[in-house]
Amino acid sequence: MRLILASASPRRQSLLRDAGYDFTIHPADIDEENYPSALSPPEIAEYLASAKAEHIAAQHPADVTLGSDTVVYLGTQLLGKPTGANHARHMLSTLSGSTHNVVTGIACYPSRFNISALVKSVPPPFKCADSPGRNRALHRRGPMAGKGRRLRHSG
């Protein structure tokens, strides 16, 4: 029996590796914009984590599959993966000086447990000002790849 991570997230891979787990990576190719509109942000994270784990578990029924999804939201606005450097700058400006929330949903198959209790309110860590250094960093590293969900209003 193998542990399968249903995610391409370098951060999730690092966490599992640092915890001493041996695992295989099989990212789930699901539509992350397809969830019931009545769900709260924590429920969205749990729903998507479960969908990812279930999708990969169906292909590997003898293994244990771990799915997860992180949602960042400010009020009712979900902040997702930026589509480019300009979008990343806009997102950083939106978060500047604001308290936002981060929730990660985790699902494991075949045991079928789902949790979304990892909610954290993040106080304003920075004031965002346009700077050549930040702009260079966005272009060099990419626009915060793997962070959150595309801009979308929930509800």
Look at residues 58, 25, 44, 56 and name the one whose alpha carbon lies nearest to residue 105.
Answer: 44
Domain that holds residue 126: 3-153
pLDDT tens digits, residue range 44-85?
Answer: 998 999 999 999 999 999 999 999 998 888 888 888 888 888
Look at residues 97, 99, 107, 51 and name the one whose alpha carbon lies nearest to residue 72.
Answer: 99
pLDDT tens digits, residue range 108-135?
Answer: 888 765 555 455 566 656 566 555 555 5
- Look up the CATH number of the domain holding residue 9: 3.90.950.10
Structural domains of the chain, count: 1
> How much is the pLDDT for 129?
55
Contacts of 32 (CB under 8 A, 6+ apart): 48, 69, 149
Mean pLDDT of the chain: 78
Crossing angle of helices 85-95 and 132-141, in 10° steps, is 130
Catalytic center residues = 69
